[in-house]
């Protein structure tokens, strides 16, 4: 029974090593590297957007607390929302 156990353990370790080696080899192909770089680029882009959104939110919070005026562009967006004045003109009902 001991020999069967070690045979199965060795076969399992060999299969595990083979799968890991294939994955490592795939990562080093041009397609694998391109995929990894594309993922990294997308991740950095999303991270940058989140940081900018957080900075804007914090700046607006600080400006409100200190009683300072918001930037003209931010104030327009916050107070009036998107401009829909052209949607509801008088006499077009």
Q: What's the pTM? A: 0.49
What pLDDT, on the 0 to 100 scale, is given for residue 19?
95
Q: How far apart are CA 49 and CA 26, in angstroms?
A: 31
- Residue 16: the pLDDT is 96
In sequence order, the 6+-apart residues with CB closer than 8 A to the CB of 64 are 70
First to last CA, the chain: 88
Q: Give tens-digit pLDDT for 17-60.
A: 999 999 998 888 999 899 999 999 999 999 999 999 999 999 99
Can you give the C-alpha Rg of the chain in angstroms? Answer: 29
């Amino acid at each position: 029974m001991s020999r069967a156990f070690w045979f199965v353990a060795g076969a399992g370790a060999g299969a595990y090593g083979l799968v890991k080696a294939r994955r490592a080899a795939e990562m080093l192909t041009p397609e694998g590297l391109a995929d990894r770089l594309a993922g990294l680029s997308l991740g950095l882009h999303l991270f940058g957007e989140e940081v900018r959104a957080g900075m804007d939110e914090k700046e607006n919070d600080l400006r409100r607390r200190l009683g300072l005026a918001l930037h003209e562009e931010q104030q327009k967006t916050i107070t009036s929302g998107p401009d829909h004045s052209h949607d509801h003109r008088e006499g077009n009902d």
